[in-house]
Amino acid sequence: MKIHGLCTIAITPFDNQGNVDTESIRSLTDFYINAGVQGITILGIMGEVNKLSEGERQKVTEVFIESVNGRVPVIVGCSAQGTNVSIELAKQAERLGAAALMIAPPANIKNLDVVFEHYRMVAEQISIPIVVQDEPVTTNVIMPPWFIAKICTEIENAKYVKLEEAPTTIKTTKILELIKGDISIFGGLNGMYFFEELDRGCSGIMTGFSYPEILVETYNLFTSGKRDEARKYFYKYLPLIRFEAQLGMGGVAIRKEIYKQRGAVSSGHTRFPGAGIDERTIVELKEMISFLDLNEQVTV
């Protein structure tokens, strides 16, 4: 299946003791699909992948793919510091049924020739598409538009790009001007520029906004030719998108709290170390949900 639209970045649900909660993975999967998402991306930054053991990564992958049961594509994060580790994760994800792999460059690599070789070596070991994740805040690796275009032009199964470097809009335009071939670009940054990204030629978005149905409706309106309606609808919810997009683990904790309030998962637990949210933030969140008339979407 060609990946498009909202490929939501999934949280990894834990119980209140911090154990992987497989039942909540199943309920969360149904929640996402009922919201209309066109894909689910797991084991990303929002999934607290850096806090999962090797065995937990495999378990999370297995349960998500089993729960999805072919209803939408599942994109599996396979980023790692070592190319050999990324290859191993990629092979495992392909065996388990992933539709594509999301891979960021190893952190702190300043030599782009080395970064290119990393992608090439992983790509030659698998047969499914790669999503090139441009995430300079976390990786400290700057991949300019010409370099991303080079990866997608010269590496056959590098078919998708996920942008996280602001402004994603300008970078989208530059990459599309340089790339030749059938390459799809996805926005990120919690969806803050989603309308503008679509207007610049993005094929969708990969982000973890906790009201995925809002991004789905924005995409559906835009792609059906209702550009002005898409803009008006999207702009209404920008305050909540902005509120969620707090730097660091605070944003993950806020999203998890919302998913708990919406009945998608049983707990909003985030693993240590990571910032939780204080009572004032919860009050602010509830006030914003009420202001935007989203209370009916909260089940508990």
Binding region for pyruvate: 206
Q: How many residues does this entry show for the chain?
A: 300
Strand spans (E) along the chain: 5-9, 39-42, 74-77, 100-103, 130-134, 158-163, 184-187, 204-205
DSSP per residue over 45-87, as a string? TTTTGGG--HHHHHHHHHHHHHHHTTSS-EEEE---SSHHHHH
CB 73 within 8 A of CB 37: no
> Annotated binding site: which residue ranges?
206
**Amino acid letter at 267?**
S
Q: Which two tokens stand for residue 229?
A: 């309606």
| Largest CA-CA distance found in the chain, in angstroms, rounded | 51
Residue 95: count of CB within 10 angstroms of its CB: 10
Q: Could you tell me which residues come within 8 angstroms of residue 29 by beta carbon, excluding any fewer than 6 positions away?
A: 40, 64, 67, 68
**What is the distance between the alpha carbons of residues 209 and 259, in angstroms, rounded to a whole number?**
10
Sign of the Cα torsion 127, 204, 182, 145 reads negative
